[in-house]
Amino acid sequence: MTLNAFGIAVADMARALAFYRAIGLDIPADADTEPHAEATLAGGVRLMFDTHETIRTFEPDWQPPTGGFRMSLAVECASPSEVDSRYAEMTAAGYAGHHEPWDAFWGQRYATLRDPDGNPVDLYAALNA
């Protein structure tokens, strides 16, 4: 067995995909109106997006989680300054910042954004990069 995909439930496909494009994923524009979309990441792993309505086609009683997030993603940046600039670009574009960039005790420059569905998306780089 090979783990080769992660899925995210999204309330608004176009809004979610705009966020992930701004992070740097290559997702076709015509995916904005689809019930399912995906992006292939480095190494061949796929990040999949399904609307709430799509999930309910096979899980009719499904409801989005409440009280906190159920998954998070982390995006490696090339340098500590890229963490800072990417965080600034994303928040200036109106995306939600959660933790401004800081030097973490584990040796990385770190910051956290929230995607449009509230999931944390961490940006990080080694401090010695």
Which CATH number characterizes residue 114's domain?
3.10.180.10
Q: Which pLDDT score is estimated for 129? A: 60
Q: Can you give the residue range of the structural domain that contains 91?
A: 73-126
Number of domains, the chain: 2
Chain position carrying tokens 């906190």: 68
CA distance 30 to 104: 39
Q: Which pLDDT score is estimated for 111? A: 97
Answer yes or no: do 41 and 78 share one domain: no
- Give the model confidence (pLDDT) of 53-106 as tens digits: 999 999 999 998 888 887 899 999 999 999 999 999 999 999 999 999 999 999
